[in-house]
Structure 1
Amino acid sequence: MITVDAASIAKLVQTRALHPERIGDLAARRQQPEGLVGQTGRLLLVAADHPARGALRAGEDPLAMGDRAELLSRLVRALARPGVDGVLGTADVIEDLLLLGALEGKVVIGSMNRGGLAGTVFEIDDRFTGYDAAGIAAAGYQGGKMLFRIDPEDHHTVATMQSCARAVSELATHAVMAMVEPFISRRDTTGRIRNDLTTEAVIRSATVSAGLAATSAYTWLKLPVVDNMEAVLAATTLPVVLLGGEVGADQTAQFASWSKALASPSVRGMVVGRTLLFPPDGGVESAVDATVEMMTA
């Protein structure tokens, strides 16, 4: 059992400082997963790319994801549970997990565009400041994820759209998954970007995303769970993974909506971050196990 304590963090820091080449060596020797089917027949991935965009809040704690040792401890615990297939994260998080030995046989999805920092005036212009397709393929990872927010009133949207299209094509060249997470988004009266979670908006974002790039052969969509998921899932033939979203105060209702959406054969899995890592009751293992149980129902 991997534990994250003061000693393991000190060792991790020392390795990064004195033997950075170990990261590449571990990636090259890492046991690969058997595919994208998942232990339950569908993928369950834990998302941990929020900190690189400055989004550290979980529930009522504005800095929940700001303590790296605590985040790694929760990630390791989640990844050790039966039914959890892998992780989605930026290079710093993934490489910490590599050094801790937590990614053997796991699906690894690299987060690519983290330049749209939360709360900034340039948030929609979501630059690719994380992984690129060549780096993902060279490390032996299974795919790359990109956030694609469409603001009808912000002309910077088109630059992000073009960058996402290029990334999808480049990932396909390496025959690895391109996971696209689309939203229709607008700024509210305070200037904060809000995602439109109406059925119509999610359908529109899904259809635009499905048409990105020269091929959709390796494209999967990461979509939020909304009231009329039947209509959303009917809008595309691409594989869909469900987005876990924010930590909900009513976890029972949140899980019920996930369970209903999971009934569709179009849904090939779930990607859940803060809801599993920082559940309202603090129980990482119980939150993960409940999600796995839903996926096998």
Structure 2
Amino acid sequence: MAPARTRRDGPPGGGGRLMIIAADHPARGALGVGGDPVAMADRAGLLDRLCAALGRPGVDGVLGTPDVLEDLLLLGVLDDRLAIGSMNRGGLAGTSFEIDDRFTAYDAGAIAAARLDGGKMLLRIDDADPATASTLQACAQAVTGLARHELMAMVEPFVAHRIEGRVRNLLTPEAMIRAVSVASGLGATSAYTWLKLPVVPEMERVMAATTLPALLLGGEVAGETDAVLDGWRRALRIPGVQGLVAGRALLYPPDGDVGAAVDAAVDLL
């Protein structure tokens, strides 16, 4: 399957801003959308939505775990699309070991062997959880490994803490500045590192903390999408912001129209 895929010429982002559809949530046990705690559990439904999104003009590719990307390869929808492999899915949502975010999906060698275009890793920094140290080390090794293959390393950093036993990301400018600063220094080189960041207040200050290119993440949309689109629109004006990586916000829009949601996001680019 993978050897037969027609890959896009040139490096990621070489032709302009990127629009990537994210579909790596299920492997971390994060299946909820809105009020439905298992909205993403229907795999055929998820694949239908992914095919619809990947078929829209202006969509560059997809981010997913091996099971999802292999399904999409079998469906023949990844030709001339970027395919980014999700790497650390071991920090299952809601567990006591969530910060111990082990690399249970792709590693750098597997991404290169599958002829993918890069790898994505989640990095949550919890000052009170010793497992942060091993996650930092694993992410640094992944950045270095991907760079050896001249492949994109997409790092999604947060400062996190536990509230009533559940991990919550701190979405203040100061917390994101700290997370960006730590993520930018991971690995033996940052030549192939991109950041995947949420839109937070004072994004200009956040982006001033790094010279690395950044993609904006979508997160979950509760209610109307206008506020999300407006946040993306403002952040995309900032130098260094190179596009979007959105999943649930586009695949499960409140009105159910995947095509319209994707088109609205693409229009921002």
Q: TM-score scaled to structure 1, two decimals?
A: 0.89
1:227 maps to what in 2? 201
Matched, 1:128 2:108: no
Matched, 1:117 2:72: no
1:27 maps to what in 2? 2
1:37 maps to what in 2? 13
Cα distance in 2, alignment partners of residues 137 and 82 from structure 1:
27
Partner of 1:108: helix, strand, or coil? strand
Runs of 4+ in 1 over 6 A off after TM superposition: none
Amino acid at match of 1:167: A
Partner of 2:103: helix, strand, or coil? coil
User: Percent identity among equivalent residues?
Assistant: 63
Structure 1: unaligned runs, 5 residues or longer:
1-25
1:46 maps to what in 2? 21
Question: How far does residue 59 in structure 1 lie from its aligned partner after superposition?
Answer: 1.2
Question: How far does residue 172 in structure 1 lie from its aligned partner after superposition?
Answer: 0.4
Query: Quick check: 1:177–1:218 contact (8 Å CA) kept in 2?
Result: yes
Cα distance in 2, alignment partners of residues 155 and 127 from structure 1:
14
Cα distance in 1, alignment partners of residues 14 and 73 from structure 2:
20
1:249 maps to what in 2? 223
2:129 maps to what in 1? 154
Instruction: Pick the aligned partner of 1:288 from 249, 252, 262.
Output: 262
Matched, 1:175 2:150: yes
Amino acid at match of 1:37: G
Matched, 1:92 2:67: yes
Compute the RMSD of aligned alpha carbons.
0.9
Amino acid at match of 1:152: D
Question: How far does residue 38 in structure 1 lie from its aligned partner after superposition?
Answer: 6.8
Cα distance in 2, alignment partners of residues 284 and 34 from structure 1:
27
Aligned length: 268
2:55 maps to what in 1? 80
Question: How far does residue 250 in structure 1 lie from its aligned partner after superposition?
Answer: 2.9
Cα distance in 1, alignment partners of residues 82 and 239 from structure 2:
21
Instruction: Pick the aligned partner of 2:187 from 200, 213, 217.
Output: 213
Cα distance in 1, alignment partners of residues 255 and 227 from structure 2:
15
Instruction: Pick the aligned partner of 1:65 from 30, 36, 40.
Output: 40
Partner of 1:158: helix, strand, or coil? helix
Query: Quick check: 1:38–1:85 contact (8 Å CA) kept in 2?
Result: no
Question: How far does residue 264 in structure 1 lie from its aligned partner after superposition?
Answer: 1.7
Matched, 1:271 2:245: yes
Cα distance in 1, alignment partners of residues 130 and 34 from structure 2:
32
2:235 maps to what in 1? 261
Matched, 1:187 2:162: yes
Q: TM-score scaled to structure 2, two decimals?
A: 0.98
1:237 maps to what in 2? 211
Cα distance in 2, alignment partners of residues 265 and 285 from structure 1:
28
Partner of 1:181: helix, strand, or coil? strand
Cα distance in 1, alignment partners of residues 222 and 264 from structure 2:
15
Cα distance in 2, alignment partners of residues 72 and 281 from structure 1:
18
Question: How far does residue 268 in structure 1 lie from its aligned partner after superposition?
Answer: 1.1
Question: How far does residue 249 in structure 1 lie from its aligned partner after superposition?
Answer: 1.7
Partner of 2:58: helix, strand, or coil? coil
Partner of 1:93: helix, strand, or coil? helix
